[in-house]
Amino acid sequence: MIRVSSFSLPSNPSHIVKIREATVADCISLADVNDAREEAATTVFLDAVCGEDSRLWTADDRRFALLWYYIHTEQDHFYKIEYECDCGETHKFKLDLKDVLDAYRPIDGPAERKIVVRGDEYVVVPLSGAAMESLELERIGIDAISCEKGDGPEVAKARLQMHLNELIYKISGNTHMESRIVEMSVGYARELITAVDDAISEMAHGIDTVYENGRIYILSPPHKCEKEVVTRCRVRFRCLDFIPEL
């Protein structure tokens, strides 16, 4: 068994994760997972090479772990980026994913925050691996409806439900939370969403990413063009890109 360098879990820096290289048996197990189920594949892979239940980790922990494994086991970790710059020109550069990994940050404080909205107290937590698996299934369903019927009312309703579920997953002890939220006034709900988003921002950890409409994007380090215009590019984070295959 070949060990990869251990790392500290970004959401809990005192927790050291030991990780090994994947085996042929691991690749065979991953072959059973549908390619569209990237979060499910992430769980199977990380559980195998880390020996822990990665569904309990935060989503940012999981992205960090995938990139950590990739950087420590692969020689080529560059992405070719092409983007339209605010200077009016199209630029190209190579993004070294090691720079993305090196810029990671551990969480500041515990992985939960208490908020109060109109006198009501909530405990906000980062999205977990389990939550990401559930949200991924919703996104896959939405994509299927959109492909078959177009972006009509059914898709709009499903997307709204996905965003509602994302909010629920960010609130600890969320039993019956959906029934509570649907009975809230729009003004109260907006205040709750803003307070939750602020708390999530305070707990930022891991590599710089953006989660939007069920998809994850890496934020590149600032890139300066010849005209001194600085840009941070969004690069789609595909979990399967960082999981080894035969």
Given pLDDT bands bounded at 50, 70 and 90, which one contains residue 245?
confident
For the record, the structure tokens of 196 come out as: 């939750």
Please tell me the predicted confidence (pLDDT) of residue 31.
87
Average pLDDT of 71-79? 90
Residues in the chain: 246
For the record, the structure tokens of 203 come out as: 């707990």
Residues 6+ apart with CB under 8 A from 214: 135, 136, 138, 139, 142, 162
- What are the boundaries of each domain within the chain? 3-105+211-242, 118-202
Residue 41 has pLDDT above 90, yes or no: yes
Please tell me the predicted confidence (pLDDT) of residue 147.
87
Residue 45 has pLDDT above 70, yes or no: yes
Given pLDDT bands bounded at 50, 70 and 90, which one contains residue 1?
low
Average pLDDT of 21-26? 93
Rounded mean pLDDT of the chain? 92
Contact status, residue 38 vs residue 66, Cβ threshold 8 Å: no
| Residue 177 burial (CB count, 10 A) | 18
Please tell me the predicted confidence (pLDDT) of residue 76.
87
In tens, the pLDDT along 137-180 reads 999 999 998 888 888 899 999 999 999 999 999 999 877 888 89
Please tell me the predicted confidence (pLDDT) of residue 11.
98
In tens, the pLDDT along 176-215 reads 888 899 999 999 999 999 999 999 999 999 999 988 877 8
